Structure 1
Amino acid sequence: MNRIFQALMVAALLLSALAQGAPTQLQAQTTHCTQSAHLLACSDAQGNAYSVASAGSTTYLRGFEMQDQRLWAQTNSRYGQLTFFTGVASNGEAWIGYIQRVGWTTITRVSGSDGTHSKITCSRLNGCY
């Protein structure tokens, strides 16, 4: 679940870049990204790959983790300030959760098929905790 959570955090950053109209060619340290109108695809020096595609209020995330040779996919559906998501990995792991925006604060809750639960609160003033 921890690696999936890390991938979700990367995907959230990718979504942020997509929503802000990031330039066509992005480069942040060892991550290389390419963007079209509705798709952002990235890969890093370790061989991990991620993509984010949008269609209306639905966002599709896909990824590959080199270390575990694992594919994963997640679908997000946004309703106002609330986003619900579900995901599955090729090793059978699954997760479900939501993201709630309250002013400058984002609260993310996720539950995994292995019984883990996480809550992450991020704000512009205090960072994430």
Structure 2
Amino acid sequence: MKSILKTAFATVALLVSASAFSNCVGGPNLETCNDSNGNSYTVNRMGSMTSMNGYNAQTGSTWNQTSNTYGNTTQINGNAANGAHWNETIQNYGNGNRSIYGTDSRGNAYSHYCTSYGCN
């Protein structure tokens, strides 16, 4: 579950300006955050599924992302207002070892193998 949240929040961090400060309200299952630039996102956690919906104030666009965990595998799917889609699968093998692969929002495939020492 921590990997899901790290990936989800990494995605949010890319979409929200680095200089923005976020204020979040809610609890462990439902949380809404707004930053000083007018961007916002909502995180909804239900069992093994986490969904996020966001708004980019600069562009007026929206995005969403859903993560599902089944055992040691997490699948992440996202959509942007411009029709771009992305997906990622994270397979955890234990001891910090995992494989990460998917397709970015430009349709480019990627894959990484990670250990506790880093990823390649």
2:116 matched to 1:115?
no
Going from structure 1 to structure 2, the CA distance change for 1:91 and 1:53 (only over 3 Å counts) comes to: same
After superposition, residues 1-129 of structure 1 pair within 5 angstroms as: 9-11=10-12, 30-103=21-94, 104-105=96-97, 107-119=99-111, 126=118
SS in structure 2 of the partner of residue 73 of structure 1: strand
Aligned residues: 107
SS in structure 2 of the partner of residue 9 of structure 1: helix
Going from structure 1 to structure 2, the CA distance change for 1:94 and 1:10 (only over 3 Å counts) comes to: closer
TM-superposed CA distance for 1:40, in Å, is 1.9
TM-superposed CA distance for 1:67, in Å, is 2.5
TM-score by length of 2: 0.68
Going from structure 1 to structure 2, the CA distance change for 1:47 and 1:7 (only over 3 Å counts) comes to: farther
RMSD, matched Cα:
2.9
TM-superposed CA distance for 1:107, in Å, is 4.3
TM-superposed CA distance for 1:35, in Å, is 2.5
SS in structure 2 of the partner of residue 74 of structure 1: strand
The one-letter code of the counterpart of 1:48 is: N
Which ranges in structure 2 are unaligned for 5 or more consecutive residues? 1-6, 14-19
Percent of aligned pairs sharing the same letter: 31
Q: What is the CA deviation profile of residues 13-70 of structure 1, one whole-angstrom value per residue up to 9, with x for unaligned ones?
A: xxxxxxxxxxxxxxxx711112324112212112211221111211111111222221
Q: What is the CA deviation profile of residues 94-126 of structure 1, one whole-angstrom value per residue up to 9, with x for unaligned ones?
A: 111112233335543331352223446666655
Which ranges in structure 1 are unaligned for 5 or more consecutive residues? 1-5, 13-28
